[in-house]
Amino acid sequence: MGLNTALSGILGAQSDLNVISNNIANTNTTGFKASRAEFGDIFSSTAYNLSTVGVGSGTRLTDTAQLFNQGDIESTGNSLDVAIDGNGFFTLNTGNGYAYTRAGNFHTNSSGDVINAEGYNLQVYAPGATEGTFDTSHLINLSIPTSEGAAQATTSAKIVANLPSGATTPTTTPFSASDSTSYNNTTTFTAYDSQGQTHAVTMYYVKTGTNSWQAHAVVDGTDVTPSSGLDLTFDSNGQLSSPSSGKLALATYTPSNGASPVNITLDMSGSTQYGTSYSAGTVSQDGYQAGTLASIDIGSDGIVTANYSNGQDTQVGQLAMANFTNEQGLAQVGNTNWKATSTSGQAIMGTANSGQFGDLQSGSLESSTTADTTSQLVAMIQAQQAYQANAQVLSTTNTLTSTLMSAISR
């Protein structure tokens, strides 16, 4: 019996060393979680379990527990590297169900899909109808748009200007954009058509009387002042009183490049007529040219945003996070991936930085929990000592058995 008891101790120590060696081997594996060998004693009881002098029969491996401790977070600068700070797992579509991982070293394939090293697709919630909302009823593959962002034609522009109250009525009439003596001041801004082509829009201001002005609009040399005129009237305090909304509708401009006609509403609200000199103030418009993908941002809440060279951005999804009632029940499937089992329970889905889920850090990775090998090396020494001690017991028991058999044979 002593031989079997010592053998069980040797086998137990060997199992412990196997677990420790696996931990040490994965010190550089992103998102790796250390395991721990757990043992139970073997006790052979007598009939009716009434013996008070029974001796144990050794030890056995009862479980290889997974330790889901937080690993250190290290910066990488790669926007598709994502670390989880706190609870939760990334959700992956394997093509044959879902897998879950803490390893956030993702990249794109030739189709623009975001995948991990095994080619599994990272799962997100699709953008909702309203900016900043997402459809959490189902999961989709995260795909980074590779096409250019569409251009948007200018439909509105805003100018906040100060027209000098001391200006005199021009002596030259009628207005002519080519004759500077027929107007007082100008403001120029860039507008875009439906193809993203730029067009220079110049507003000319002509003082027509006390507190009254007339504006003229010219796009690429074409006068787009409506037949009804663009009249501006200020009150005695220098505030714009007419039009009351401050908005002026320019006539339609049809580009020569085949783009759709451009219709711009000019907002002059906030403009003034003070005794100071002319000032163009604020000039803005809502159009933009087509843009190429410039960068990808992933927020702490998992919202993935595509940024374009034209200054626009688009939300393409929100990372779907998973958690489990019993993490220890997850089945390891290799490459730092796990799958749900009846022991772990079904995945509890949600989003980062909310409820029971931790937040995300883009441009970072969670290192292995065995990156600092000190504790593993200490555990290895202890397992080695246990192995040597059991081997000594085995040797001693063998010697005693040999002595006994030798005595009996005499």
240-273, pLDDT tens digit by residue?
999 999 999 999 999 999 999 999 999 999 999 9
Residue owning tokens 């501006």: 232
For the cut 80, the answer to whether the pLDDT of residue 397 exceeds it is no
Give the pLDDT confidence score for residue 136 in this predicted structure: 94
For the cut 90, the answer to whether the pLDDT of residue 46 exceeds it is no
Give the pLDDT confidence score for residue 45 in this predicted structure: 60
Cβ atoms of residues 278 and 164 within 8 Å: yes
Lowest-confidence pick of 41-50, 93-102, 292-301: 41-50
Give the pLDDT confidence score for residue 148 in this predicted structure: 80
Work out the pLDDT band at 149, boundaries 50, 70, 90: confident
Provide mean pLDDT across the span 98-117: 96
For the cut 60, the answer to whether the pLDDT of residue 282 exceeds it is yes
Give the pLDDT confidence score for residue 254 in this predicted structure: 96
CATH fold label, 156-285? Tick-borne Encephalitis virus Glycoprotein; domain 1 (2.60.98)
Work out the pLDDT band at 408, boundaries 50, 70, 90: confident
Residue 304 CB partners (closer than 8 Å, separation 6+):
124, 142, 296, 297, 298, 315, 316, 317, 318, 319
Give the pLDDT confidence score for residue 323 in this predicted structure: 97
Work out the pLDDT band at 410, boundaries 50, 70, 90: low
Work out the pLDDT band at 361, boundaries 50, 70, 90: very high
Provide mean pLDDT across the span 318-322: 98
SS3 384: helix
What are residue 298's phi and psi, to 5 degrees?
A: -125, 115
Cβ atoms of residues 116 and 103 within 8 Å: yes
Of 22, 71, 37, nearest in space to 369 by CA: 71
Provide mean pLDDT across the span 277-289: 92
Of 67, 99, 24, nearest in space to 335 by CA: 99
Percent of the chain predicted with pLDDT > 90: 79
Please state the domain extents for the chain. Answer: 2-69+376-408, 73-148+293-366, 156-285
Of 360, 391, 332, 392, nearest in space to 66 by CA: 332
Q: Running DSSP on this structure, what letter comes out for residue 259?
A: P
Give the pLDDT confidence score for residue 5 in this predicted structure: 84
Rounded distance, CA 285 to CA 355, Å? Answer: 40
For the cut 80, the answer to whether the pLDDT of residue 404 exceeds it is no
pTM over 0.85, yes/no: no
**Phi-psi group of 147: left, alpha or beta (phi > 0 → left; psi -120 to 50 → alpha; rest → beta):** beta
Rounded distance, CA 326 to CA 344, Å? Answer: 5
378-393, pLDDT tens digit by residue?
999 998 998 898 889 8
Of 99, 20, 106, nearest in space to 67 by CA: 20
SS3 377: helix
Give the pLDDT confidence score for residue 56 in this predicted structure: 76
The vertex-382 CA angle with 376 and 385, nearest 5°, equals 140
Work out the pLDDT band at 166, boundaries 50, 70, 90: very high
What are residue 403's phi and psi, to 5 degrees?
A: -65, -45
Question: Comparing 123 with 10, which gets the higher pLDDT?
Answer: 123
Helix axes 374-408, 2-25, angle to 10 degrees: 160
Lowest-confidence pick of 48-57, 111-120, 285-294: 48-57
Element (H, E) at 240: strand 240-242
Of 123, 132, 105, nearest in space to 28 by CA: 105
For the cut 60, the answer to whether the pLDDT of residue 47 exceeds it is no
Retrieve residue 380's tokens.
């290895």
Retrieve residue 266's tokens.
């000019």
Provide mean pLDDT across the span 55-84: 91
Residue 50, CA distances (Å) to 1, 2, 46, 54, 179 in order: 20, 22, 7, 9, 118
Work out the pLDDT band at 50, boundaries 50, 70, 90: low
Give the pLDDT confidence score for residue 296 in this predicted structure: 94
Give the pLDDT confidence score for residue 117 in this predicted structure: 93
Rounded distance, CA 119 to CA 125, Å? Answer: 19
Rounded distance, CA 301 to CA 162, Å? Answer: 44
Q: What is the mean pLDDT of the chain?
A: 92
Work out the pLDDT band at 53, boundaries 50, 70, 90: low
Of 389, 337, 328, 312, nearest in space to 13 by CA: 389
Provide mean pLDDT across the span 216-233: 96
Give the pLDDT confidence score for residue 403 in this predicted structure: 78
